[in-house]
A and B are shown apart, each in its own frame.
Chain A
Amino acid sequence: MALFNERINRSLERQVKLAVTGLSRSGKTVFITSLVHQLLHGLEGTHLPFFQIVSGGRLRGTKAMPQPDMHIPTFRYDYAIEQLCGDPPTWPKPTNGISEIRLAIRYFTNNPLLKLMSPVNTLYVDIIDYPGEWLLDLPLLELTYEQWSEQIARLCETEPRLSLSQAWREFLDTLDLTSEATDTTLRQASQLYTDFLHRCKEPQYGLSLLQPGRFTMPGEDLKGAPLLEFCPLLQMPEELDSDDKSLYAEMKRRYESYKEHVVKKFYKEHFTHFDRQIVLADVLRAFNTSYASFVDMRDAINMVLKSFHYGKSGFINKWFGLKIDKILFAATKADHVTPNQLPNLEHFLQNMLATSNNNAIFEGVQTETLALAAVKCTQAAYTTFQGKKISCIKGMPIDGNKPVALFPGEVPLEVPMPEEWIDGRFHFMEFKPPRLANVHGSGLPHIRLDRALEFLLGDKF
C-alpha cells in the first residue's frame, strides 16, 4: 500500500528524488546542507532571486520530514549547519555512511486545473548523502573480476600509480596464484592494496579512480569483514577448475560476493529511482594537484555516470522504473575564483564531461552546466595592480587567521597540455567558511544555487 501511494505521488509529479552525485571531497554534504537551509529559509530574505517559486511569492513553506526509508539514518542537517556556523566555522567532516532527508515544499500552484481542485500542493524532495568513494563501485557491476583486474593493471602502468603500488605489486609477484589460498596471504595482499589506495588518495597525489570504494571508506557495517579481503591480480593464471581452492579462485569469489552483497544492494536500494541528478565536480582541486589527478577525476566521473539510467520520464516510465530526465553539471567552489572567471569554469567543466553530456543529450535528457558555490566564503572586489584595474577576491585562507586578497589566476578554457601543469602554475587557494551572525534568520550566502534549484526543481511546481 505504501509503495502504491508512492507510485501515485510520483506519477502526479509530487515527489522528486534528487541524485547528488560527486566523488569524495567534491562538496556533496555542504551542497545538501546549503540546499536544505536555503529551502527551509525560503520565505525569509531575498537569497533565491532566480528560484521562481520563491521570487514569485508562491512558496508557502518548507519542512524537513521523516524520510520514507526507515532503515536509513536521517541526514543530520543540524550537525552540519552547526559546524558550518560554529566558532570558528569549519567545513563538515567527510561522510562515512549513508543518510537521507526528505523535504516537503508547500506551494501555491499555477496550474489552472489544479487550482480548482487543490490550490495548495506539496512537493516532496528526497535527497541522499553518502561517501563519494562508494560511487566508484557502481561501474564494477558491469565488470568481471578479470576485466576489472586488467583495468587496474593498466592504470598501474603509469605514474604516479606505478611507484605508489610498488609494495603491493612486489608482494603479488612472490605469490603462486594457483596454490591454495590462506587467510594470511589474502589478508596481506588486500592490506597492501588498501594501503596503496590510501596513498593515492593523499592530497599531493589527489587520485579519484580508487576501486573498490569500500576499501578506502568501509563504512560502519563492513569494517574488517572478510568480504573486503581481496584485491585485483596483475596476471591471470591459465586455467581454472570449477571447485578450485586456489588463491585466484578465492579472490574471484570474494570479488563476486562483494559485487552481489555490497554494490548491488547499495545500487538497488538507493540508486535506481532518481528523477533528477546534479553532478558536483571540484575542478579547482584537480588543477591544483596535477595532470594525472585531473585525468583521473575526469575518467572517474564519466565512468560513474554510465551507471545511471537516463531518458525521458514519460507516464509509462513512471510506472516501470524511473529515469533521470534532467542533469545539472556543477563546478563547485565557484567562489574561489573571481566572478569574471565563472564562464571559463563552466566552459571547462563542460569540456571535461563532454562524453557524459553527449550521452545524456542522446538519451533525450536536458542538461546544463553551472559554476556554483553552495556556501560563498569570499567577497568579490576590485583593485589596481600595475596600473590596471583587476577583479580579485577576499577571503580567509583555510590555514590562516588573516584574510587575504588575491587574484587566484585564470581558469583555462581548454584542458592545458600535461607539460603546462608545472608546479605552481595553478594555485587556487582554499578558504574557511564565512562567519555568519544570523544563520537561522536567512539563507546562507551562495553563488547560483538558486539557478541550480530552478533547473532541477522549477518545472515540478
Chain B
Amino acid sequence: MNTETWETPLFFELDKVETIAEEEAAITLDYTPPVILPDDTALEYEPDDIKVEPLSLISPASPTTTSPWLWLVSTLGLLLVLMLLVDTYHFIAQQYANSFFLGTLFLALIFTISTTTFILSRQAYQKIQTLRTVSALQKEGDELMEKDGYGHALRYINKMVNFYAHRPDVKERIERFYITLSDSHHDREVCNLFSNIVLKEIDQQAYHIVSQRSKETALMVMISQIALLDTVLTLWRNVRMIQNVATLYGGKPGLLGTMSLISGLVQNLIYADVSEMVADSVGEILGGSMLSVMSAQVAQGLGSGVLTARLGLRTMQTCRPLPFLETEKPRLKGIRREIIFSLKGIFEKAKV
C-alpha cells in the first residue's frame, strides 16, 4: 500500500472524529452554561437511588466453570442421592411389609433427619451469604473511595446501616453519623465519617480480641511441651478468634462459614503484599532474636502468637464491610510488643 502525502490541511467533521477518552477529559471544549430553574421546579434533597433493596439480593456473580471434573462430581453426587432415595424407599417399604408400627417409626425418623439437615444447610447457606454480602460491600466501598464522586455514597452507607440494623450497640452511633452528615460531603468524606464514627469502636474491640487471643496462644505454646499439642492449641484459639471477630463485624459464621472464611484468609495470607510482610516481619525477627537467646520455648510462643495476630488482623480486614483506609489499618507492631511484654513477664517470674 502506498502512502500518500497531503499538502493541504484536511478538515473533518467534529462528531465523526474519535478521540481518546482521557484526552477529551483533559481538554474541555464546551462548558455547561448556568441554568436558572423555574420557580415551580420540584426539588429533592436526596439522591433518588437511595432506596435499598433487601440484602439477600446482593449476590456476587459466581464464576461458571464447566470442566469435565464438575460433570463427573455432579453426576456421581446425583447417583449417590438417587441410590440413597431408592434404598430408603425400599427399606421403608420393607419395614411396612413386616409391620405397620416399625414402618411408621422408621419413616418418622427419616423424616426428622431430613428436615433437620435441610434447616441446618439453609442456615449455613444464609451465613455464607452474609459473608458474601460483606465482600460485595467491600468491593463497592473500594470503588467509591477510589474516585472523588458525589451523591453515590448514601446508597452504599444505607446498605451498611441495613446490615447493622439488628445491632442495638451500633444504633446510637449510626444516628450520630446521620446528624454529622452534611449535604456538601463527598463520597469519600461520607465513607471516612462512617468509618470514624460507627466502625472505629468495633475496630478497637476486634483489635482487643485479636491481641488477647494472640497472647493466649503465645503463652500456651510456650508452656506446652508437646509439638502436636501446640498445633492443636493454636488451631483452636485461631478458629475461636476468627469466629469472634467475624461476629463482631456483623457476619455470624457457622461451621461452614468459618471454613470458607479460613480458606479465604489462608489464601490472603499466602498472597499478602510481600512488602507488608517484610515491614511486619523485620521487627519480628529482631525482637524475636532477643528472646530466642533467652529461650527457644519463648521464641516458639512468640512465633505462634504473632502468626495468630496476623491471622486476626487479616480477619478484621476481610470481615469489615467498609475497607480500611491506609491510615487506619490495624498494625501488628502493637500486638507484638504486648506479646513480648507478657511473655517476658512470665519468663522473668519463672526465673525468680
Contact = CB atoms under 8 A, between A and B. Distances in A.
Given A340-B150, A391-B150, A382 B37 contact: no
B41 A339 contact: no
Contacts of A425: 31, 33
A35 interface: no
Chain A interface mostly:
mixed
Interface in B311-339: none
B273 interface: no
Nearest to B150: A340
A412 interface: yes
Interface stretch (A156-164, A265-273, A403-411, A433-441): A403-411
Contacts of A339: 150-151, 183-186
Interface in A385-429: 385, 389-392, 394, 404-410, 412-414, 416, 420, 424-428
Nearest to A376: B184
A145 B180 CA distance: 55
Contacts of A46: 176, 179-180
Contacts of A391: 150-151
A398 to B, nearest CB: 15
Nearest to A386: B35
Nearest to A372: B184
B31 A416 contact: yes
B150 A405 contact: no
A45 B220 CA distance: 48
A335 B34 contact: no
B184 A380 contact: yes
A55 B32 CA distance: 38
Contact of B31 (A384, A405, A410): A410
Which range holds the interface residue count of chain A? 35 or more
A381 B34 contact: no
B305 to A, nearest CB: 24
A389 B48 contact: yes
Contacts of A445: 182
Nearest to A381: B43
A383 B41 contact: yes
A405 B41 contact: yes
Contact of A385 (B28, B35, B151, B192): B35
A318 B183 CA distance: 41
Contacts of A389: 48
Nearest to B180: A46
Contacts of B149: 340
Contacts of A55: 196-197
B32 A382 contact: no
A359 interface: no
Interface string B45-65: 111100000000000000000
Contact of A342 (B31, B179, B180, B186): B186
A392 B196 contact: no
Nearest to B25: A413
Contacts of B45: 379-382
A334 B180 CA distance: 19
Contacts of B37: 383, 385, 392, 404-407
B70 interface: no
A381 B183 CA distance: 8
B27 interface: yes
Interface in B139-198: 148-151, 176, 179-180, 182-186, 189, 192-193, 196-197
B183 A379 contact: yes
B186 to A, nearest CB: 7
A448 interface: yes
Contacts of A376: 182, 184
A50 interface: yes
A49 B33 contact: no
Interface in B95-139: none
B190 to A, nearest CB: 10
B205 to A, nearest CB: 17
Given A46-B176, A406-B36, A410-B31, A383 B42 contact: yes
B44 interface: yes
Given A46-B176, A50-B192, A414-B27, A382 B47 contact: yes
A410 B184 contact: no
Given A334-B184, A414-B27, A340 B151 contact: yes
Contact of A409 (B31, B43, B176): B31
A383 B193 CA distance: 26
A382 B183 contact: no
Contacts of A410: 31-32
B90 to A, nearest CB: 65
Contacts of B32: 407, 409-410
Contacts of A340: 149-151
Contacts of A414: 26-28
A409 B184 contact: no
A452 interface: no
B34 A407 contact: yes
A385 B176 CA distance: 34
B148 A382 contact: no
A396 to B, nearest CB: 14
A380 B43 CA distance: 10
A49 B44 contact: no
Given A379-B183, A412-B28, A414-B28, A407 B35 contact: yes
A447 interface: yes
A339 B148 CA distance: 11
B35 to A, nearest CB: 4
* 4 nearest A-B residue pairs (beta carbon): A380-B183, A409-B34, A340-B150, A46-B180
Given A391-B150, A408-B34, A410-B32, 17 more contacts: A46-B179, A46-B180, A50-B192, A339-B184, A343-B186, A380-B45, A383-B43, A384-B42, A385-B37, A392-B37, A394-B43, A405-B43, A409-B32, A413-B28, A414-B28, A416-B31, A426-B34
10 contacts: A46-B179, A50-B193, A339-B150, A339-B184, A340-B151, A382-B45, A383-B37, A385-B37, A405-B37, A414-B27
